[in-house]
């Protein structure tokens, strides 16, 4: 019973956390997409991208490089992308993507796939 309440409370908490960009969820619409298998297989040094976080595209003004590190702006805050979160294989989607995880200590980046800065 307690475990169920905690799970429901955690789900409600996650649903209440806003992102100022649309979150991409696989609700079945992408079953026949030629990129579905590729997205499902993406991994960073922090693990599978789609296992714990929902990814979404990031517009060019909301990501850049600071020194030798990528950073991304989420909810108005710039977050430095850890090196082990960067996906290094070619970006078949073409757009910059990020898989953030919000927790009690703030937002961390599970995976980040850079696009082309214009």
The domain ranges of the chain are: 19-113
Sheet holding 69-74, edge to edge: 63-66, 69-74, 77-80
pLDDT band, residue 112 (cuts 50/70/90)? very high
Q: What is the pLDDT of residue 100?
A: 94
Q: What is the pLDDT of residue 110?
A: 94
Q: Which CATH architecture has domain 19-113?
A: Beta Barrel (2.40)
Interval 54-84: pLDDT, tens: 889 999 999 999 999 999 999 999 999 999 9
Question: Alpha helices of 1-112 — where are they, by DSSP H?
Answer: 2-16, 36-41, 49-52
Query: How many beta carbons lie within 10 A of that of residue 53, not counting itself?
Result: 20
Query: Which of 7-16, 27-36, 80-89 has maximum average pLDDT?
Result: 80-89
Interval 24-55: pLDDT, tens: 445 565 677 788 888 889 999 999 988 766 88
Q: What is the pLDDT of residue 40?
A: 87
Contacts (Cβ under 8 Å, ≥6 apart) of 89:
42
Are the C-beta atoms of residues 24 and 56 closer than 8 Å to each other? yes
Q: What is the pLDDT of residue 64?
A: 94
């Amino acid at each position: 019973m307690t475990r169920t309440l905690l799970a429901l409370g955690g789900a409600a908490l996650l649903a209440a956390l806003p992102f100022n960009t649309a979150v991409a969820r696989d609700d079945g619409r992408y079953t026949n997409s030629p990129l579905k298998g590729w997205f499902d297989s993406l991994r960073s040094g922090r693990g599978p991208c789609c296992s714990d976080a929902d990814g979404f595209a990031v517009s060019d003004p909301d990501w850049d490089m600071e020194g030798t590190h990528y950073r991304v702006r989420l909810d108005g805050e710039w977050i430095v992308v850890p090196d082990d979160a960067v996906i290094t294989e070619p970006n078949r989607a073409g757009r910059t993507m990020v898989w953030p995880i919000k927790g009690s200590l703030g937002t961390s980046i599970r995976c980040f796939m850079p696009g082309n800065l214009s």
